[in-house]
Amino acid sequence: MSRTVSAFAVEEERRVLGLKPVLAPEHGRYGDHPQQTYDLWPAGGGGPAQDAPLVVLLHGGYWRYDRTHLTPFAAYLAQQGLTTVLPGFRRSGGAGGYPQTFDDIARIADTLPAGRPYVLAGHCSGGHLALWAAARGLLPPGSPWYTTELPTAVLALAPLTDLRATVRDGLSDGAALQLLGGPEAARERLPLVDPVTLLRAHGTTGVPTVLLHGAADEEVPLGQFADYAAVHRDLDVVVLPGTGHYTLIEPGAPAARTVAGLLHRMAGDFRTEPQVR
């Protein structure tokens, strides 16, 4: 489906995605595949990272692209006092798609917090994956992804919440169908990996969840946010007026400051809470 995109949205995307990548001070692995790696920014660039709120941040890119574009934002969150882990995972169009992408997200959630309370955050398709990770307790108990060990909290930034609508609208040249393996496979697989479908019979994941989006988002149809909120009975929704899709992850922008503040609030009472700059 073709869409008309405003000059505002075009400039915002160019500005934010054109930022120079930031190299993380620490790197690690959570699996043997070359894409099962992560970058880590300790809070404040160093110091007592165990005392800082922990954020595991899932990147967007319609399940196809790597995490490079989100490194400036991850570094920014660390400057705001949040120890930030930015993992890679197997992606559509390569080694990923169904089920590998979901295998990796489950492994990330089960491994990288290392027993600490944490906020699982994600932007766009990363928001979809974060919401799905929070809904793993709603899966059939026989599913390899089923678990009762769920994220402490979830912050979904302009997320894709409804894969059926994403397929219907043909977003990003059929990205959801690519993720699911085509139209035939999608019918069988979608109920297991679609956040809004998993929620319909339950009304909640049991995980404190905030959905934040810009009122001027032209990348993800606003109906996705409203439809998810209509199903999730204890969801907290935050809408930023005059804000687009990408400004949420633009270091130093007012929207990014709001994100950092929400992450501190959601992480709970830690020993210190630096002022968001």
DSSP for 68-81? GGGHHHHHHHHHTT
1: in domain: no
Q: Using an 8 Å Cβ cutoff, are 221 and 167 in contact?
A: no
pLDDT of residue 268: 79
177: in domain: yes
| Number of domains present in the structure of the chain | 1
d(CA 138, CA 79): 35
129 lies in which domain range? 7-267
pTM recorded for the entire structure: 0.95
* pLDDT tens for the chain, residues 1 to 277: 456 789 999 999 999 999 999 999 999 999 999 999 999 999 985 445 567 899 999 999 999 999 999 999 999 999 999 999 999 999 999 999 999 999 999 999 999 999 999 999 999 999 999 999 999 999 999 999 999 999 999 999 999 999 999 999 999 999 999 999 999 999 999 999 999 999 999 999 999 999 999 999 999 999 999 999 999 999 999 999 999 999 999 999 999 999 999 999 999 733 344 444 4
H helix or E strand, kind and range, residue 225: helix 222-231
276: in domain: no
CB atoms within 10 A of CB 124: 27
Q: Using an 8 Å Cβ cutoff, are 84 and 67 in contact?
A: no
d(CA 66, CA 2): 25
Domain harbouring 228, CATH code: 3.40.50.1820
SS3 content of the chain, % helix, strand, coil (to 5): 40, 15, 45
141: in domain: yes
217: in domain: yes
Residue in this structure with the two tokens 């319609």, named with its chain if needed: 62
d(CA 76, CA 129): 22
